[in-house]
Structure 1
Amino acid sequence: MIKSVNNYPVSQLFDIEAGVVYAIPRYQREYTWGKNQWESLYDDVLENDPGYFLGSIICINQSTDTLSIQKLELVDGQQRITTLSLLFASVYHALKSHESDLDDEQRVELINLKRKLVLKKGDEQIRLIPQIQNNNYGDYRAILAEIGIISECDVPAYAGNRKIFRAYRYFQERIEQMINDRDDRLGTIMEFLDKVSHACLVKIEVASHADAYTLFESLNNRGMPLTAIDLIKNKLLARLESIEPGKVDHYFEQWNRLLSYLGDDYAIQERFFRQYYNAFKDELKAVYHVPIATRSNLIQIYEKLINHDAKGCLQKISAAGRLYSIILSRNQDNALNGIEMPLKNLERIQGAPSYLLMLYLLARKVELQLTNDHLASTVDLLVRFFVRRNLTDTPPTRDLTRLFMTVIDKISDLRGDAIPQSIEQQLVAISASDDAFQYKLQGPIYEENSSVTRFILSSLAEQAMTKESWVNLWRFENKQFVWTIEHIFPQGENIPQSWVTMIADGDEKKANEIQQTHVHKLGNLTISGFNSALGNKSFEEKRDRADRQGRAVGYKNGLKLNEDLSNATSWSVEQIDARTEKLVQQVTKLFKLQESDA
């Protein structure tokens, strides 16, 4: 069934001497990775040692002539291989931009990098053949043509708005950021290229589609391999059993209680163990000192802590786990009244990197002379910080753990009021300016970050609510939000004639152009509990929509956010721009970092 299973460095999968082509089946789903995945792959390669494991791919190899081009059908791992190809293209562009400064060795690397993307035997034979879904194939060729790797070709319409181009531009920006502060810019690029080339993937080759299907089933049925948390548990219980024979069941109960605090999500469990070390590094470094806990050194850290004091380690992480469950809103503590809603908002705005700071503050509350008001105001500050950060990417994600570790270092000797004041000063110093924040707010915000957009719209709507008019905009039903983002001018591909007439005086081409430039702007967005019922309906139908009981469920639903929509008789580009500007000013004021300036 399986022809081969090998762990290869990326450079070998893209071997310049090999006539290997990776073809993604035409019917396969389009390229779907987004910023979170691009960021994770880039940071994992950058921050970990050479040889970092990136996952696996499954290929069908039906070739028989070893002298001809070997075409492998890539049936699993297409997102990863496509992303790596785009990363190589971005590195190639960065080196090509400095071509006159390259020495002989670096020029050879530039040529070799080209051969990773096109075969040596023919410049037009690209090594990765993406699927045709959503113009993936055309967009990818356009990028290779743009950087001079293949001959010129037409750029598909709106290519810049699709994931292939956006991934490529993202990597360009990250590389530019990486080399900006370096004296040896070329050396930095070459060092990064070396890390990418030495990262590893397991390539599984099978002989047929039937074999591939059987392999998928067997992999799914056998479950996941042991995780880092499994290995830490095994080490801890084995150590405790050797110290106190016969009591392992008691400690296993304690361990399970810890995991019950954290929940079943493995990513959250792993994050807790990393954040625990990073939050309390100052006291733990006497046992084992590393600059920062990461995925790659997590087991090593806990082996040292367990060997030093297994029982004490379990007690301390269990106590921290209970506090972490409060941060996660899984449990409540009557002694911490007033911080539940701020913590829930911190979760909603994806502020998890700051949980290590909150864990430290909760664990040291008495010692640091903190009140619940101090804690609540700090969480509110973090919420405002993450609204701005998650939209502007300032400071970048890769810096956040070290940022909050630094905050802890600077407040450890402070007490009472001085602590939230210091945290505010530190966050203001590294956050994006109001101008940068507003620039992002004025753009296609929904496309930039739909989660932040939903949080912003919900916050604007909640501002005007009273106890009597309160609506839970975060209600979940059937594993999804009841209230979702609604595009006033629809975002769908086929614009209804009523909208072509209203927004573009019947000009379909103009309507499509307006959709490209304005559909994802803040002024064209609202929150609706009946999004599926509104969809592509005309503006008047959306505005006046009512349910069977005659209750308004359209733009006249009573939300302050929709007030101007409920009174409007039509919808135009000018109204989108005006509403965008009005909401931008409200959002800037609502999420001002320094309360004194609000």
Structure 2
Amino acid sequence: MEATKLPLASIFTGHRVFDIPFYQRSYVWKKEQWERFLEDMEFVSIESKDYFLGSAILKQQNLNMGVTADHRTVIDGQQRFTTIVIFCKALCLKTGELDEFDRYFMVRNKKEGTKKCALVHSMNDRKDFEQVVSLTEDKPIDNAGNSSILQAYNYFQEKIDINKVDIDELLSHLIFIDIELHPNDDEQAIFDTINSLGVRLTTAELLKNYFFTESTLEEYQELWVPIFEKDKGTSEYWNSQITAGRLKRNNIDAFFSAFLNIKIQDRKIGVDNEHKNMYRRVDSIFASYKDLIATYNIDKKELYREIIEYAKLYAKYINSDVVESDIPSKSCVERINFMIFTLDCSTMLPYILYVLKNVKNEKERNDIFGYLESYVVRRAICKSENNSFSDLFSEILIGNEIKTFEDLKSLIENRDEMALAFPNDEKMQECFHDIEQPNKRALAILYLMESRVRNNQPHATKILSFSEYSLEHIMPKKYEKSWPLNDGYDEETRRMMINTLGNMAMLPQKLNSSVSNADWNTKKNGKGTRKGISYFASDLVTMKGVVTCPEWNEDNIWNRAEWLANIAIKIWPSYQETNDDDFDIEAETKLDQVNQEDESAKARNMNHDNTKYSFDGTEFLSKSEFVVTLVRKYMENHPQLTYKELKGKYPDRLCAKGYKFRGFLCTEKEYNEWNNKYKEKRYQPNKENHRLTSSDGVVFYVNTQWTKEGVDKLVKIAKADGFSIYTRNKS
């Protein structure tokens, strides 16, 4: 690569030919750009000063011996070069200096006695451009129609004032940075790193010119045009912008990236790991295609025919507009689409295309999609890291040719990496309570739940498209004025719980801020003409029971989170069920009853329940002493258990709802580092036999704050382990 500062007269010399790639995009400048260009040309002519027009990237061509002209391919500079030639032609017609135009912008072939323009245009604009170049009279072109080339000429023909513009000044003072690439240089990598005035070429445009030549026009029209350039709607689809992870790309670039990730896993090609890592770099897809073809001797014609097959599937099934319509309730590609574009899972695209291409049985295909939905949504709810997703959905699944539900299930469940683990039911319930969710993700999860649990059951209203809903925090983030803190909770706990799914609602209209931040009664029922939650949420299944609550506090948030978690576990099982029966929401929902329990629960006074527990014939113990004794007895029966194994036996989700803990079990180190004024009450470390040690030497304490509901769960666990438990209520 060589870069040189050159005036226009040293670029267009009458001996160099500049080829715009045959299948390149059309000339796109319009009146706004032409006006600015004319003003600039007048400025240069009057001031007689150098004027920088940016960089022009030109690539040397390897041509047969005997070709006299020096040929360059225009990588970047098409729009500016085209405008300059049109402008200078219009100017020289007005001044009668066509010889001056021919001297710089026409190239002669003395042997053949012919001449042609130094700028050879693409297929789309060649006819119109040659019409302009061949003009001999200073007059407008009739019937310019929609041609930007002809319209540009007519604009300059009308607007140029020969007293303000001088061709010689332009030739000497219009300056480019001429970047000359050698035949083996990577034009895309260089193009992307230069801040030019041009518009970035898509991977598709570069590949189109790489696969096809002027001599293969029929193949181009037969294969490429119907898929990528059939009509305006087709072009708009492929050029529409989508969010792909942290990047925004056109559909067409996203497709070529996905197909490349499929192709490099082809066992028949045998791409090594070093090349796979290199080819998967998003910023050099075109270079990756070229290197893949050259290094592994891939037949270009066979490759682009396969590209066409996959492109048909992409265009048929992949659509970011899924957020503008309601989605089916059963496992299908539409729901996968929804996850791709609302949960930012574009890394799924290669495997989804692979399944669409290779799994012909619709039920098998939908079983795969159902399993993937459970897997991806569970990980989203648990905020699992997705750094390894690109490996999973390309090298692992495609590389292992996973084409059946059973193979997919087996592969996921037998992976050793924690990074790709399938969250279990206990983890799901824990995360519904403890994981703070960003708004977009929370809204998408609730929408997926709502669409699933309806299952064609009669409802007063039809579910709207995702884009018509907004997320509302039931207890608002700005709660200080109208939402007093309940006994037994602290500010830290409340701030965390506000951002969990138990406190989030999808509503078809955003609440007015005066209602949204008001007290619960106002927020529920509205104020004046401003409607409240009960109006907007009346027919939403995911809001069942919320609008009947006389108050909304941490207890309600915890109860609703538990209720939603139980539904989610049914909707997204840890394994895909063989039948996809409708989900019976009525059989599983108890939120109404939970929220209407004894008024004493509101006060969070743990001493109101006086049940005591006898453990294998011991004296009757309080709840806190019973739980500590249970853990200690279990350790005596299983002395080999490590602290991690004990944590698995007694998960944190069993803790009393709503309280802020370090966990069911808390290490001495965690306890000492925890800055919380209630910690001694929570763990009571100074009581006899409350300091325990696991087999691997970890010193820990047991949570001592329990509701009867929580202890009842532990009683069931204890009885399953063979212990005899008796209860007694103190009169």
TM-score of the two chains, using structure 1 as the length reference? 0.51
| Aligned-residue offset at 1:423 | 0.6
**3-state DSSP of counterpart to 1:491:** coil
Please tell me whether Structure 1 or Structure 2 has the larger radius of gyration of its CA atoms: 2
Aligned counterpart, 2:369: 379
CA contact (8 A) 1:484 1:531 kept: yes
Aligned counterpart, 1:101: none
How many residues are treated as equivalent by the alignment? Answer: 354
1:232 corresponds, among 196, 207, 217, to 207
Distance change (3 Å), C-alpha of 1:545 and 1:594 = same
**3-state DSSP of counterpart to 1:408:** coil
1:489 corresponds, among 454, 463, 475, to 475
Query: 1:568 and 2:549 equivalent?
Result: yes
Aligned counterpart, 1:457: 446
Deviations 1:194-233 (A, max 9, x none): xxxxxxxx999xxxxxxxxxxxxxx8x9464334444333
**3-state DSSP of counterpart to 1:485:** strand
Distance change (3 Å), C-alpha of 1:554 and 1:274 = same
Aligned counterpart, 2:276: 291
Whole-Å separation in 1 of the counterparts to 2:560 and 2:520? 16
Output the amino acid matched with 1:264. S
**3-state DSSP of counterpart to 1:423:** helix
Output the amino acid matched with 1:543. K
Distance change (3 Å), C-alpha of 1:330 and 1:577 = closer
| Aligned-residue offset at 1:297 | 4.6
Whole-Å separation in 1 of the counterparts to 2:528 and 2:290? 60
Aligned counterpart, 1:439: 430
Identity over aligned pairs, percent: 15
| Aligned-residue offset at 1:570 | 0.9
Counterparts of 1:180-579 in structure 2 under 5 Å?
A: 222=197, 224-237=199-212, 240-241=213-214, 243-244=215-216, 253-254=225-226, 255-257=228-230, 262-265=238-241, 266-283=249-266, 286=269, 290-292=275-277, 293-304=280-291, 308-329=298-319, 339-347=332-340, 348-365=342-359, 370-392=360-382, 394=384, 396-411=386-401, 419-429=404-414, 430-434=420-424, 435-447=426-438, 450-465=439-454, 466=456, 468-469=458-459, 473=463, 475=465, 481-492=467-478, 495=479, 497-500=481-484, 503-504=485-486, 513=492, 515-533=494-512, 534-545=515-526, 554=535, 557-579=538-560
CA contact (8 A) 1:327 1:343 kept: no
CA contact (8 A) 1:428 1:594 kept: no
TM-score of the two chains, using structure 2 as the length reference? 0.42
Counterparts of 1:106-117 in structure 2 under 5 Å?
A: none
Whole-Å separation in 2 of the counterparts to 1:302 and 1:441? 44
Distance change (3 Å), C-alpha of 1:470 and 1:390 = farther
Query: 1:581 and 2:553 equivalent?
Result: no
**3-state DSSP of counterpart to 1:400:** helix
How well do the aligned residues superpose, as a CA RMSD in angstroms? 4.1
**3-state DSSP of counterpart to 1:498:** coil
**3-state DSSP of counterpart to 1:499:** coil
Distance change (3 Å), C-alpha of 1:245 and 1:399 = closer
CA contact (8 A) 1:485 1:527 kept: yes
Distance change (3 Å), C-alpha of 1:540 and 1:427 = same
Whole-Å separation in 2 of the counterparts to 1:456 and 1:338? 15
Distance change (3 Å), C-alpha of 1:527 and 1:490 = same
Distance change (3 Å), C-alpha of 1:282 and 1:560 = closer
Output the amino acid matched with 2:413. V
CA contact (8 A) 2:331 2:367 kept: no
Counterparts of 1:43-122 in structure 2 under 5 Å?
A: none
**3-state DSSP of counterpart to 1:583:** helix
Output the amino acid matched with 1:527. M
Whole-Å separation in 2 of the counterparts to 1:458 and 1:586? 13
| Aligned-residue offset at 1:380 | 1.4
Whole-Å separation in 1 of the counterparts to 2:446 and 2:379? 17
Any stretches of 5+ residues in structure 2 without a counterpart?
A: 1-191, 242-248, 323-329, 415-419, 584-731
CA contact (8 A) 1:485 1:526 kept: yes
Any stretches of 5+ residues in structure 1 without a counterpart?
A: 1-201, 205-218
CA contact (8 A) 1:279 1:360 kept: yes
Whole-Å separation in 1 of the counterparts to 2:450 and 2:266? 44
Distance change (3 Å), C-alpha of 1:482 and 1:553 = farther
| Aligned-residue offset at 1:374 | 0.8
| Aligned-residue offset at 1:489 | 0.8
Whole-Å separation in 1 of the counterparts to 2:267 and 2:407? 24
| Aligned-residue offset at 1:275 | 1.7
Distance change (3 Å), C-alpha of 1:349 and 1:424 = farther
Distance change (3 Å), C-alpha of 1:328 and 1:249 = closer
